[in-house]
Amino acid sequence: MTGEKKTSDLSARLGVKRSKNVSSKPSKSAPPSISAPPKAAIATKTKKSEVQRRKNPFNDMLHHKPGKEKDGRSSASSTQDDGDEEADPGPEVITDTKAADKIAELEQTLVVSREEQNALREELAKAREHGLVYKGTIEDYRRQLAVRYQTQSPPGAFHPNSRPTSRRSNSISMDYEQEVDPRRSLTFQREDLVEQNYDLRSKLAQLQDQLMSQEALYQSRIEQARSRSETEWNELTSRLHIAEKESQERLQQLLSLKSSISSLTRMDSQVTDSELSEGLSQLAHRVREFVISNFRRTKLELSSIPTETVRALEAISPVYKTIDPTDRLALYQALISSAMMHIFREPIIVGLPETGPLAPIRQLAAYIHNTGADFREWRRTTIRSLEKSEAKHTLHQEKVKLVHRLSSEVGHQLFTLTSINLTQNAQSTLMGMLNATADFQHTLLLQKAQYRLHFFNGQEGHLFDEGRMESVNDLDGGLDEDGDVVQRRFAFCVFPCLEKFGDEYGENTEVRNVLLKARVCCGVG
């Protein structure tokens, strides 16, 4: 009796039908017939149960379950017939568990349905917003069309929208417009931005088209200018070649005219004094650089030297054994300059043989060399005649032989003093200096003025001549430690002196002018 009441009460609260096992379970005592309660009591009881279910139906179920069991136990204990009246609690517990699982599933389904309902509500709200915006846009378009129609229609014309409206409809439309205005403004802003975007894109496309057209125009202009410049360049180049050709022709004509004039005036071989002094000074520098570059680390050996070297040294200085070893480089230069004096002493032309058909010219020059300007005129004429005749080949061969012989002698003398053989480059440099000496002598022999080269020797013990000499080993200018002037004496000559007598035409020979001082080595005493 108590178990059936529990089951019926729980099924009534949960609203769940019992299964066939529970409903068909036999009971020992049938329930007593109870009269129907009044309607008010039933309604009050129903409302209270609904309120409790709405508050927390699952908690009621969980709280009622142990209570029912407790009541059942207490009622069962109070009953004397335990075996007859007490119901079996196993099926009820199983039924309650199934009901709880069912309720949990229903709760999950309810949560899912609520989420779907919320999503549908959001979509419905968005659809309403879009509908409102769409309606607002349509209303704006209608209003704009109406305004245009009113402005374009004549006065007094019939307007379909000119009917009176009620106050209520006006207020509703105003409220609607107030709600739609922000959305409409946003829509207008978007449309304006879209239109501006389209306008900007169209302008950008136009600018790009203009840029491409301008670039094509500029490229065509550049190509035209380039082709025009190339044509002009070719024309200018051809004109330049023609002008250069004409200038070369004019230059050749000018040179031929100068040569003809010089041949008529016979002044083509005349050079200035400064050019002569400069040429001889450069030759002296070449000798000095040659000695320094090849013999600056050598020692002077005068103990065992051959007879040829002794004669060459005596021609420079009879007391060559007293020369200071520190002046050895100046002595080597003096040997080269002494060999050059063989070329400077040629009276007519360098390379004139002493035997053969040309030998009488040398003998004739020895007889008439004291005739002054007439001798120099005869010498210039003779040199030109020999250079234009077949004898020029013989003269050139003799000149080459003379230069080769002198360079060999100088190289042997330097070897006996220093024990150093000249290299091939040094030998060619020495021969180049001797050839330059021959050319310089040839220039001197063609001059109208009278020139003389002095290589001082045999003047040991004489005083230093400052007018025609300059010292190469006296750097302090002839002053001692106290600053007093010390009397210097000539030791030996290193390079000759160039002196001119008279003017450019060989007259007034009593006038003397030193063009280049001799470079000498001095001693103190």
pLDDT at 175: 56
Residues 362 and 484 both lie in one domain: yes
169 occurs within a structural domain: no
Residues 247 and 114 both lie in one domain: no
387 occurs within a structural domain: yes
Residues 309 and 226 both lie in one domain: no
Residues 110 and 212 both lie in one domain: no
CA distances from 69 to 8, 19, 89 (A): 14, 20, 8
Residues 237 and 281 both lie in one domain: no
Residues 493 and 352 both lie in one domain: yes
Residues 383 and 353 both lie in one domain: yes
Helix (H, G, I), strand (E, B) or coil at 486: coil
Nearest to 71 by CA among 166, 152, 2, 150: 2
104 occurs within a structural domain: yes
Residue 20's domain comprises 2-27+39-120
143 occurs within a structural domain: no
CA distances from 490 to 94, 313, 428, 513 (A): 152, 16, 33, 21
Cα separation, 274 vs 332, in Å, equals: 28
Residues 341 and 417 both lie in one domain: yes
- Inter-residue contact 113 to 57 (CB < 8 Å): no
142 occurs within a structural domain: no
66 occurs within a structural domain: yes
Residues 218 and 348 both lie in one domain: no
Block mean pLDDT (10 aa), the chain, length 525:
44 43 41 44 47 48 46 44 47 78 91 91 86 82 76 51 49 55 73 87 90 90 87 90 89 82 60 90 94 89 87 88 87 93 90 86 86 86 89 90 94 91 92 94 89 79 78 66 65 91 78 90 69
State the number of CA atoms in the 13 A half-sphere of 211 facing the CB. Answer: 6
Q: Nearest 5 degrees, angle CA 497-CA 498-CA 501? A: 130
Residues 499 and 361 both lie in one domain: yes
Residues 408 and 300 both lie in one domain: yes
Two tokens, residue 451: 């020139």
pLDDT at 342: 92
Across the beta sheet with 518-524, what order do the strands follow?
Answer: 469-471, 518-524, 488-495
Residues 99 and 198 both lie in one domain: no
131 occurs within a structural domain: no
Cα separation, 72 vs 2, in Å, equals: 7
516 occurs within a structural domain: yes
**Number of domains comprising the chain:** 3
- The sign of the dihedral angle between the CA atoms of 475, 480, 484, 485 is negative
Q: State which of 120, 144, 166 marks the end of a domain.
A: 120
Residues 6+ apart with CB under 8 A from 268: 259, 262
